C-alpha cells in the first residue's frame, strides 16, 4: 500500500516547546502507513520574512509595465500563440530579433492543448518529430511514420523555449486593428480581450513592428483586419482571405509549408493561418506541419 501524506494545521498547546516562537510555522504531517517507526512527525518551516500585499502589487505592476513598454517597438510581432507562433517566436528571438507574441486567450498553445477531441495527445510525422526532438519533447512511434507526443508537454516546452530565448509573451491581448502607412503594415493596435468581450468603449494602445506574423489559425484575424480596413489586395489568388477547405490531412500538411510566406507587405502567415489565407484544407490533430511552418517563417524573416 503506497504511503499517503495528510497535512493538518498544528496549533501548539499551552506550555508546548513550540509556543511563542515568532515567525515560525508548524504543520502536522500524518503518514498512512507510517514510513518510520515513530507515529506522527512535526515538521518545522521557518518563515524568513513578513509579506506585504502592496509590495506584491507593485512588483507585478512595475515589472509588467516595463515588459510591455520594452515591447512597444519590435522587430517582429507575432499574433497567435499556437505551436507555429511559439516555434517562430523562439527561433526569431534566438536569432537576435526583438520579438513579442500576442495571444487573445488566457492560455497559449492554440489547438495543441486539446489534441484530438480533448484527448491530449498529438500526432506528428517523421519531419515533425525532428522538431520535437530538437526541443527535447518525448514522442513514441505508433506505427511507421506516425508518432505521438503528450500535448501538455509539447505546449509547455515550446512556451518555455520561447520565453527563455527572450521573446515577450502577452496573453489575453486582442489585436483589433493594424497601423498602415504607404500600403505597408507597420504596427498593431492592441487591447485587453475582456474589454472586447464586454463590449466596453476603451481606446487601445499601439505596438510598432517591422514585420507582422499572423498565426491566429482558422480565423486569420490580422489578415481580415487588413482586408476590411485598407483598400489593398493580399498576395493571394483572390486578393483577400480565401478561407480554409475541408479536412484532408496529407494535403493540408504539405500546403501548410507551401503557404507559409509573405501575404502582404511585411506580413507573413504561418500555421493554420497559411492554409486559411491561401485556400488550403485543414489538417486536424496532426501538428508536424504547424511546427515546421513556425521554423520556416522564422528562417524567412531572419534571411530577409
At the top level of CATH, which class does the domain 71-303 belong to?
A: alpha beta
What residues does each domain of the chain span?
71-303
Q: Is 66 exposed, middle or buried (0-12, 13-18, 19+ CB in 10 A)?
A: exposed
Radius of gyration of the chain (CA): 25
The Cα-based distances of 293 to 22, 148, 225 in angstroms read 57, 19, 22
Distance, CA of 148 to CA of 15 (rounded, Å) = 60
For residues 148-175, give the mean pLDDT. Answer: 98
Q: Which pLDDT score, from 0 to 100, does residue 43 have?
A: 54
CB 88 within 8 A of CB 294: yes
Nearest CA among 77, 79, 125 for reference residue 103: 79
What tens digit of pLDDT does each residue of 85-114 get?
999 999 999 999 999 999 999 999 999 999
Q: Which pLDDT score, from 0 to 100, does residue 299 have?
A: 98
Category of 128 on φ-ψ map: left (φ > 0), alpha (ψ -120 to 50) or beta: alpha
pLDDT of residue 17 exceeding 50: no
**55: phi then psi, degrees, rounded to nearest 5:** -65, -40
**Neighbouring residues of 63: CB distance < 8 A, sequence distance ≥ 6:** none
What tens digit of pLDDT does each residue of 44-69 get?
555 567 899 999 999 999 999 999 99
- For the stretch 27-43, what's the b/e string if a residue is b when 16 or more beta carbons lie within 10 angstroms of its beta carbon? eeeeeeeeeeeeeeeee
Distance, CA of 215 to CA of 88 (rounded, Å) = 10
Amino acid at each position: 500500500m503506497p504511503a499517503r501524506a495528510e497535512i493538518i494545521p498544528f496549533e501548539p498547546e499551552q506550555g508546548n516547546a513550540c509556543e511563542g516562537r515568532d515567525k515560525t510555522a508548524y504543520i502536522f504531517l500524518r503518514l498512512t502507513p507510517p514510513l518510520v517507526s515513530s507515529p506522527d512527525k512535526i515538521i518545522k518551516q521557518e518563515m524568513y520574512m513578513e509579506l506585504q500585499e502592496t509590495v506584491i502589487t507593485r512588483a507585478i505592476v512595475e515589472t509588467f509595465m516595463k515588459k510591455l513598454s520594452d515591447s512597444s517597438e519590435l522587430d517582429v510581432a507575432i499574433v497567435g500563440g499556437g505551436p507555429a507562433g511559439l516555434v517562430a517566436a523562439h527561433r526569431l528571438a534566438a536569432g537576435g530579433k526583438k520579438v513579442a507574441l500576442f495571444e487573445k486567450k488566457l492560455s497559449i498553445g492554440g489547438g495543441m492543448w486539446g489534441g484530438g477531441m480533448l484527448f491530449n495527445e498529438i500526432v506528428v510525422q517523421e519531419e515533425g518529430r525532428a522538431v520535437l526532438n530538437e526541443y527535447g519533447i518525448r514522442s513514441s512511434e505508433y506505427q511507421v511514420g506516425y508518432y505521438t507526443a503528450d500535448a501538455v508537454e509539447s505546449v509547455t516546452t515550446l512556451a518555455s523555449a520561447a520565453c527563455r530565448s527572450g521573446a515577450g509573451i502577452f496573453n489575453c491581448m486582442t489585436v483589433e486593428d493594424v497601423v498602415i502607412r504607404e500600403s505597408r503594415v507597420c504596427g498593431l493596435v492592441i487591447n485587453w480581450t475582456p474589454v472586447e468581450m464586454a463590449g466596453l468603449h476603451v481606446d487601445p494602445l499601439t505596438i510598432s513592428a517591422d514585420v507582422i506574423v499572423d498565426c491566429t489559425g482558422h480565423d486569420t484575424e490580422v489578415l481580415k483586419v487588413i482586408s476590411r480596413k485598407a483598400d489593398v489586395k493580399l498576395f493571394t489568388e483572390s486578393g483577400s482571405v480565401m478561407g480554409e477547405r475541408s479536412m484532408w490531412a496529407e494535403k493540408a500538411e504539405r500546403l501548410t509549408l507551401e503557404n507559409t510566406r509573405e501575404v502582404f507587405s511585411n506580413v507573413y502567415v504561418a500555421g493554420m493561418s497559411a492554409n486559411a489565407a491561401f485556400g488550403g484544407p485543414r489538417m486536424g490533430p496532426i501538428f508536424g506541419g504547424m511546427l515546421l511552418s513556425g521554423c520556416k517563417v522564422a528562417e524567412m524573416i531572419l534571411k530577409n
